[in-house]
Structures are given as C-alpha cells and as structure tokens.
Amino acid sequence: MTENLPGVPEEPVARTGMFGAADGGDTSGYGGLVVRRAPQLSSPRPYGGPVGAAGAPGDFDEVADGLERVLGGDLSDAVERVVVDRGELTFHVKRERLVEVLQHLRDDPALRFELSLGVSGVHYPHETGAELRAVIHLCSLTHNRRLRVEVSAPDSDPHVPSTMSVYPTHDWHERETYDFFGLIFDGHPALTRIEMPDDWDGHPQRKDYPLGGIPVEYRGAEIPAPDERRSYA
C-alpha cells in the first residue's frame, strides 16, 4: 500500500508496481516500483510550437486555428482539451465528433494530415468515466507536422466510432485495439480479434488484467503460468 511508503502520496495520486496490480504471480521485477500520477493536463493558449517566430503564432496555434476555422465555431465544441507536452500537440476529441474532426484534419489544405501512423489503445482505470482511450498519430507530409488525436470512452460504454472511412489503414489497428483493450469501434466492417484466439476471455493489455496465474494453451502448446515457472528472485 502506498500509505506505508514515506513521502509517497496516497491513492489515486500514486500506485505501486508496474501496472498497479496487487494479486497474481508478478515475476516482472517491478513489484517495488512507485509511479506518481501527474494531474490531467490542459494547456492554455498560446500553444507555441517549433516553428513560430517571436511575436508570431506557433505551429501548434496554426493547427488549432485551422481546425477551429473548418469546424465553423469554437474549438471546444469538438475538442475537450488541448495538451502541449514534451514538444507534442494532442487534441482530446469528443467521440461523437471524431470522424468529422479527422476528415477536416485530412482534407483541409491548411491542415493536410494525410498520413495516419496508426491507432493504439490505453487503459486508465483511475479516470472514472474515461477509462479507455484510443490514440491516433497523424502526420502532415505537406506541412511537415505531427499531431496526436485522442478519444476516450467509459468502461460502462466502451464505444467510439470507427475511423476507417477517413483512414482505411485503421482496419487492423482498430481490431488490435479492440482485441487488447476491449474498445469497440462502431461501424468497423469486421471487428474481430487479430492477435488472441477468438474465444479468449478478456483483453490482456488492460491494467486490470491479471499479471500471472493464468494457464495458457495456444496452438496446442502448454505454457505454464508465471508463478509456476523458474523464479528470478
């Protein structure tokens, strides 16, 4: 428990262990790790960016301004928050506006994020009402810019719209995110598992998935659970 560790804030500010799990056979060697959660970020304007000169809008502001223009109103109508962190720009988009926002980001000449580098998932069990998140990494070859788009969904309603209509290469990426995190992409033409067997129980990259103690049989091979294997302690 974190309260027994001197100088470590109590939950939900900090957690112990690599994934915060308190049960199962953790043979990862990270059982004593303490991770402090940073507060949720929301960056104010000006956002800056690598291109803006002194007295001129930064590259990130140009992207935000361009998206606000094509949306025809306030950016906050479609974007829940904007985060600039470690030199990277992230738009946290409302899930009901995701496809529309991506369409504008791809097609508007001033934005032209024509290349998607894929979709991945994240699980934040401590963020009540936004536990699951899909992360989309975009690149503008035209303007030499990068952008991260994130969309969240609650565990109780793990649905976000499929974005294959905008970026067809998201097909297998969305399947993998569903497979590992349980995030359902509405409108995907064939949302089936892509790595795990079709009858697998659970989604193994979620942080509440057991770290050990699960006997595995895959393609006829028997693999013992971690606590039954050689110990490295």
Determine what percent of the chain falls in helix, strand and coil, rounding each to the nearest 5.
Answer: 20, 25, 55
Question: What are the tens digits of pLDDT across the range 111-143?
Answer: 999 999 999 999 998 888 999 999 999 999 999
Question: What are the tens digits of pLDDT across the range 200-218?
Answer: 888 999 988 877 666 666 6
| pTM of the predicted protein model | 0.77
Q: Is the dihedral of CA 159, 164, 170, 173 positive or negative?
A: positive
**Residues listed for the chain:** 233
All domains in the chain, ordered by first residue: 42-195 (3.30.460.80)
Helix (H, G, I), strand (E, B) or coil at 4: helix
